[in-house]
Amino acid sequence: MENTNTIDLRMLFSAILRKLSLILACTILGAALLFAYATFYIPDRYRTSVHIIVHNAKTTGQTTTSSDINAANMLSEQFLSILKMNAVLEDVSRSIGDDPLTGQRKVTAAQLSKLLSLSSENSILEITATSTDKALCTEICEAMATTGAERLRTAVEASSVARVERSVDEIAEPARISKQIPQKTLIGALIGFILSAGIVALIAYFDDTIKTGDYFTEVLGVPMLGEVPSLKKTTPNDYKAGKSYVK
């Protein structure tokens, strides 16, 4: 049984080597398809951020203690929940305004919830906007830093909210998000190679025809008396020897 498995693996490997040119072609095709998909089909996406700092109102003008920091951190978590509320997103959507060409909202509250990413660390709220529209990223951050911050002030009377690091007109230029074209190209090449090699191996595995005389001697343990060549007719009276078949 062990000998049979060895022969099967060798036959599979030989089948893959015989079709190596086809496998390489499929590998290149897979890489080319995913390269084209990543380059031309996937749109460019941009990202930019704005920060809001949270202060405990009771500590304004006083020395900040660890309890004050903890209180500010708790407020930050509450503010994140407030900024995600649909009512706040509706206000932000209205403040961004309408598209002058279509007369419709540039971005709806539902779309904002998908384009925004909010996080909190050390009482600092980070609001990140990601979109295929470069200018819209900046507009969203501006609106969240003004309209969103104002809603925070009115929602929680025991705290104050202030912008830090950047003013509205100093939001960083939206950065293009990498499409990871080299990685996707490599994945396409791997997919093309694995699929083509797998299909070739499966075809060879289920092919039960006898290809060489070694099958008789190594698997069945019987001697081979001879081989009958395959004759191809080239002219009405001439035959050309082709691939031999075991009889």
Tokens standing for residue 247: 């009889």
* Residue 182 falls inside a structural domain: no
* Residue 187 falls inside a structural domain: no
The CA distance from 127 to 144, in Å, is 8
Q: Output the CA–CA distances (angstroms, integers) from residue 17 to 20, 56, 192, 200, in the order listed.
A: 5, 71, 16, 10
96 shares a domain with 29: no
Report pLDDT digits (tens) over 84-125. 889 889 999 999 999 888 889 999 999 999 999 998 877 778
pLDDT at 247 over 70: no
* Residue 242 falls inside a structural domain: yes
Position 214, amino acid: D
pLDDT band at 230 (very low <50, low <70, confident <90, very high): low
138 shares a domain with 67: yes
155 shares a domain with 101: yes
* Comparison of pLDDT for 202 and 68, the residue scoring more: 202
Give the pLDDT of residue 15. 81
* Residue 220 falls inside a structural domain: yes
- For the ranges 8-17, 46-55, 89-98, 236-245, the maximum mean pLDDT occurs at 89-98
> Angle at Cα 83 formed by Cα 170 and Cα 100, nearest 5°?
60
The CA distance from 105 to 103, in Å, is 7
Give the pLDDT of residue 168. 43
Give the pLDDT of residue 28. 96
Average pLDDT of the chain, as a whole number = 77
Report pLDDT digits (tens) over 20-72. 999 999 999 999 999 999 999 999 999 998 888 776 555 445 555 566 556 66
pTM: 0.66
| CATH code for the domain of 142 | 3.30.1890
What's the number of domains the chain is made of?
Answer: 3
The CA distance from 151 to 94, in Å, is 14
pLDDT at 221 over 80: no
246 shares a domain with 220: yes
67 shares a domain with 170: yes
Give the pLDDT of residue 245. 42
Give the pLDDT of residue 233. 54
The CA distance from 146 to 144, in Å, is 6
149 shares a domain with 84: yes
* Residue 117 falls inside a structural domain: yes
Q: Is the CB of residue 133 less than 8 Å from the CB of residue 47?
A: no
85 shares a domain with 139: yes
H-state helical runs in 19-160: 20-36, 66-83, 86-96, 109-115, 134-143, 149-155
Question: How many C-beta atoms lie closer than 10 Å to residue 129's C-beta?
Answer: 26
241 shares a domain with 202: no
* Boundaries of domain holding 123: 46-176
**Residues 6 or more apart whose Cβ sits within 8 Å of residue 236:** none
* Residue 188 falls inside a structural domain: no
223 shares a domain with 145: no
157 shares a domain with 108: yes
Give the pLDDT of residue 171. 77
* Residue 181 falls inside a structural domain: no
111 shares a domain with 10: no
172 shares a domain with 80: yes
Give the pLDDT of residue 36. 95
Q: Is the CB of residue 140 less than 8 Å from the CB of residue 107?
A: yes
* Residue 8 falls inside a structural domain: yes
Q: Is the CB of residue 180 less than 8 Å from the CB of residue 69?
A: no
End-to-end CA separation in angstroms for the chain: 24
